[in-house]
Amino acid sequence: MGDNNYRLLPLLAALLSGACADYEFSVNDKLVYTPLPLFSDYVLPDRGLQDCVSKTISDEKITRAELLESLNCSHAGIESIEGLERFTQLQTLNLGHNQLRDASTLNVLGELQRVNLEGNPELNCSSIPGSNSSVELRLPQHCR
């Protein structure tokens, strides 16, 4: 039975280290691990977009801009997506049911696969990126 306990030690150590990845570790008052800081090098003038991105970065523990691949900002009162171009690896973007007027920033997000723009009644349809067959677009009623 004693040997079985020693076999469980590596598993226990792995589980504990994964569960504590957000904390600093010290041994004998010497710091041996510090988690990476969350990504904060971006400017989003729209308060609703700022709040959504900030919450996603915190929830997903995003440490670099290119690690943000999915963003769900529906019903957030967003009027502008200026600054979103900082997140070049976005693949899925839900901006449904906001107050967007311009979507031209999406033109520079080359990794997008799915974009939801439904429920943005003031959106200028000509600002929506051209029809790229690789991007699944959900458009507001007046742009269909």
Amino acid at 119: G
Domain 47-143 CATH assignment equals 3.10.580.10: no
Query: From the CB of residue 87, how many other CB atoms can be counted at a distance below 10 Å?
Result: 23
DSSP state of 67: G
The structure's pTM equals 0.77
Q: What is the DSSP letter of 108?
A: G
pLDDT tens, residue by residue, 4-24? 555 655 554 554 555 455 555
Residue span(s) of the chain under CATH 3.80.10.10 come to 47-143
Residue 118: count of CB within 10 angstroms of its CB? 19
88-117 pLDDT per residue, tens = 999 999 999 999 999 999 999 999 999 999
